[in-house]
Amino acid sequence: MRPPAIGYIRADISGARKVWDQIQIRTLTERLGYRLLKTIEFSQHTDDPLAQLLSTIERDEVDAVVTPSTEHLGGEIPEALISAADVVIVSSEEAHSRRLAGLFDPPSSTSEGDPPHGRGSAGARDRAAGARSLAGRRFDPPLT
């Protein structure tokens, strides 16, 4: 089973591009091997959107959040979000993995035969490789 992900959009930032942003999220989520559960949408009027996003991640046991750009996250990716889930930015083709930093480090305190990085480490490696394979690709909106 593919790991679950959610899309995250700020409607006031997407504006007329909202449908295109949703398509981008869905396409990239599938390409990276995640299963898109839903796309949540907040606006400038949403109270504490980060707290609500983190609550959704925990409640739905989400492995990744996919968003059109860091602008949707307030200009930068909050550490609390990276700690909770992988964060994939469509516009810059970047994936920030909560597990990526430790993937290539030797195991420190695991016993023989235990996976060194918790659940899904093989999947995290696959997703990291998929994210790296995006280099050089652009996701431009269709010409109308």
Condensed to tens digits (0 to 9), the pLDDT of residues 88-102 reads 999 987 778 776 544
Interior angle at CA 70, CA 104 and CA 38, nearest 5: 85
Short-list 120, 122, 65, 73, CA closest to 96: 65
Cα-based torsion angle of the residue sequence 34, 37, 42, 48 in order, rounded to the nearest 10 degrees = -80
User: Which domains, from first to last, does the chain contain?
Assistant: 4-132 (3.40.50.1390)
Q: pLDDT tens digits, residue range 21-79? A: 999 999 999 999 999 999 999 999 999 999 999 999 999 999 999 999 999 998 999 99
**Dist. CA 76–CA 78, nearest whole Å:** 6
Determine how many CB atoms are found less than 10 A away from the CB of residue 85.
25
- Quick check: 59 and 29 in contact, CB under 8 A? no
* Structural contact between residues 69 and 10, judged by C-beta atoms closer than 8 angstroms: no
- Over residues 112-132, the pLDDT tens digits come to 444 333 334 444 445 444 544
Q: How confident is the model at residue 92, as a pLDDT?
A: 83
Q: Which two tokens stand for residue 71?
A: 């602008």
pLDDT band of residue 106 (cuts 50, 70, 90) is very low
| Measured distance CA(56)–CA(68) in Å, rounded | 18
Q: Say if strands 64-67 and 94-96 run parallel, antiparallel, or are unpaired.
A: unpaired
